[in-house]
């Protein structure tokens, strides 16, 4: 498993980058032991709201196989609307790796960053489970209008997302091992 941490359009965030690299290496080990599944190669990118929208839209359109410029622009607008409220996102990639986007503007300290990092790494572990990535791809293709999914498949996907979110929130206490008092 390969772990990379970088920034996107964030000049002057060297100390935050170094801290996040250290925390990511520790968090991967902790989450790998505590959550069933296998950790894929992970790329963590620290960015701002606009960067989250740009990179998130690019990753989802690539996952869905969309090449149309108009569809990409629509996806970026939708991701920008969501990015205002989101502090992090985990997105599977077609090559089996995972992309984790962290909004540094919503993390005033190490404790908040640790909680979000653990939460998103739990999602990365979930990507290795049976039919999870296929369901995400099918939902993305449906949202971009490439290929329709049935109502039953959409309901199953929504239930799976809710279950995965409950599991990720339930594992946020592991952030205490990174930064004491983080998940308090």
Distance CA 86, CA 55 (A): 14
For the stretch 88-125, pLDDT in tens is 999 999 999 999 999 999 999 999 999 999 999 999 99
- The total of structural domains in the chain comes to 1
pLDDT of 81 above 90: no
pLDDT of residue 83: 79
pLDDT of residue 146: 82
In a domain, 183, yes or no: no
Q: What is the pTM of this model?
A: 0.94
In a domain, 182, yes or no: no
pLDDT of 29 above 80: yes
pLDDT of 47 above 70: yes
Question: What is the chain's Cα-based Rg?
Answer: 16
Residue reference for tokens 């990511």: 24
Distance CA 146, CA 20 (A): 37
In a domain, 184, yes or no: no
Its domain, for residue 157, covers 3-177
Distance CA 59, CA 145 (A): 16
> Would residue 49 be called left, alpha or beta, if left means φ above 0 and alpha means ψ between -120 and 50 degrees?
alpha
25 pLDDT band, cuts 50/70/90, is very high
In a domain, 155, yes or no: yes
Tell me which of 27-31, 67-71, 126-130, 133-137 is least confident. Answer: 67-71
Taking the CB of residue 129, how many other CB atoms lie within 10 A of it? Answer: 13
């Amino acid at each position: 498993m390969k772990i990379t941490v970088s920034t996107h359009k964030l000049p002057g965030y060297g100390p935050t980058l170094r801290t996040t690299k250290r925390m990511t290496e520790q968090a991967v080990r902790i989450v790998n032991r505590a959550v069933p599944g296998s950790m894929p190669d992970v790329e963590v990118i620290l960015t701002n709201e606009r960067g989250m929208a740009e990179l998130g839209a690019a990753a989802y359109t690539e996952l869905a196989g969309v090449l149309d410029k108009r569809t990409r622009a629509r996806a970026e607008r939708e991701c920008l609307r969501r990015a205002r409220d989101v502090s992090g996102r985990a997105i599977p990639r077609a090559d089996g790796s995972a992309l984790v986007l962290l909004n540094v503007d919503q993390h005033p300290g190490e404790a908040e960053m640790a909680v979000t990092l653990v939460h998103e790494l739990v999602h990365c572990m979930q990507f290795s489970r049976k039919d999870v990535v296929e369901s995400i791809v099918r939902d993305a293709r449906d949202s971009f209008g490439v290929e329709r999914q049935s109502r039953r498949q959409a309901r199953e996907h929504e239930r799976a997302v809710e279950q995965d979110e409950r599991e990720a929130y339930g594992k946020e206490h592991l952030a205490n091992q990174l930064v004491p008092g983080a998940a308090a």
